[in-house]
Structure 1
């Protein structure tokens, strides 16, 4: 299946322009929070990328301490000078989120970058055949967190902080491409609009929504089956691609994109920069709208 691509180049692997070691992308002196940061997740790669960019304070948030500790060990093995702390929280519960936000502020101070990489995919089934509790759990995790974030984390950020919501290609493609995933699709679309609301309500906050690519995670395996059996060079993208793309988004190089836009990590950033004038002139680009509107 061909994916929509704004740039001529469709990236599947990381590349020099988004290398976190570039001085222009430095995260030195920044405090970074990553949700969904358990071992083997996109969040793991994101935490590693920001540490590589020089972030000295990184908070890992997730439901399982064991997997968070493994991510912490991975990051600290490569970057022993980084302060990496683990905070166990259920992001669907406001009390749990509030407790984590408080402890992060006390131990690490105000935050500069928040990468929300947590998500939930219910069992694959039709609408009629779904277990209602499991079906609704996607909304509890994927959608409800926006309200918890605004209440508990938003007041604890520095000016011009960056919030990045990890989303899905499903928002831009027909439902027929993703059978038996109605709850996931609908919750991700809602999540994208809530990211827009965050941007509109908080003009000093830089907000981006990102499709990370097709990354080899447990969630991807739930949809595609055994990933080891996929043909070489198939759909999968490397985790470093979205992780490094997020580091780039958090840098001043991405300021021209403005807040509230939905981008794919597969899009080439050098081409985006080259088309800066076009992007700045069309505020409808990269948003969930009716294509072509206002109609001529």
Structure 2
């Protein structure tokens, strides 16, 4: 078996929403009473995630992105999906700590809590070799993908901890944190040093969140959302576009599934939205016992 094959689970792959993770059927009502904060919610996967949580009966969704007009469009789609879901938004650049903190505080002021935080904002610049790269452009990937995710983590965590305590007292699960990773985190592809190393860092950051806050009831996941034909996806070289075959509703519904408590056992790990959740769940004992789906140095025994 090649080194690439050993980094992925051999599970049935899905490209679109399916029954086990459908917020309109199987997961209907699973998000009732919860408040969801989404960074990068103006379009694509973030927008689909906001709608999916509304379909699952979430109490409120708080949306952030850099463009007000796009956020207003997402807000309208959320309210169409579920008129009972409250919704608010803030223009916010995740690379600015003060803006993220203000948005988190506004969410709590409006809705009283944050039960789920989704760090969905991302960036992918041109693929060029390191020796030909623009220093500012190279670092921009880290500014958005890692620093931006850190800001969401840092300011949402105190509220997620309170959420975990509250829902645990009711015999339920709260305090969920989703970090958007990428299958690219597991590859070394020429020209992708900025993006792929930033996503590899997201996987380890997820592990650190879990290590630091597992006793607080936090459930953190680093999620590959699939190959989605978003603006970011189309920033990849053209020959890679053939892999952009996944519907944004796949990752959105997978996020709802994770936050329903069904995936709590997989906290602190890298997961792919493409993986069949039934087959994934059947591997729970093996994954936990052998500490799989985490970043580790492979050496000979």
Is 1:181 the counterpart of 2:192? The answer is yes
> What is the DSSP-based 3-state SS (H/G/I as helix, E as strand, rest coil) of the residue aligned with 1:267?
coil
Q: CA RMSD in A?
A: 2.1
**What's 1:237 paired with?**
246
**What's 1:161 paired with?**
175
Q: Is the 8 A contact 1:12 1:237 kept in 2?
A: yes
> What is the CA–CA distance in structure 1 between the aligned matches of 2:157 and 2:265, rounded to whole Å?
23
CA deviations over 1:191-217 (Å, ceiling 9, x no partner): 221111111111111000000110010
Is 1:247 the counterpart of 2:256? The answer is yes
Distance change (3 Å), C-alpha of 1:11 and 1:104: same
Q: Is the 8 A contact 2:50 2:78 kept in 1?
A: yes
Distance change (3 Å), C-alpha of 1:116 and 1:123: same
**What's 1:287 paired with?**
294
**What's 1:122 paired with?**
125
**What's 2:268 paired with?**
260
> What is the CA–CA distance in structure 2 between the aligned matches of 1:226 and 1:84, rounded to whole Å?
39
**What's 2:167 paired with?**
none
- Deviation (angstroms), 1:277: 2.2
Q: Is the 8 A contact 2:149 2:179 kept in 1?
A: no
**What's 1:200 paired with?**
211
| 1:125-140 to 2 correspondences below 5 Å | 125-140=128-143
State how many pairs are aligned.
283
Q: Which 4+ stretches in 1 moved above 4 angstroms?
A: 2-5
Q: Is the 8 A contact 1:48 1:75 kept in 2?
A: yes
> What is the DSSP-based 3-state SS (H/G/I as helix, E as strand, rest coil) of the residue aligned with 2:88?
strand
> What is the CA–CA distance in structure 2 between the aligned matches of 1:112 and 1:49, rounded to whole Å?
15
- Deviation (angstroms), 1:10: 1.4
> What is the CA–CA distance in structure 2 between the aligned matches of 1:169 and 1:221, rounded to whole Å?
15
User: Greater helix share, 1 or 2?
Assistant: 2
Unmatched 5+ stretches in structure 1? none
Distance change (3 Å), C-alpha of 1:137 and 1:235: closer
| Match of residue 35, structure 2, among 25, 31, 53 | 31
> What is the CA–CA distance in structure 2 between the aligned matches of 1:167 and 1:181, rounded to whole Å?
14
Is 1:191 the counterpart of 2:202? The answer is yes
- Deviation (angstroms), 1:13: 1.7
- Deviation (angstroms), 1:7: 3.9
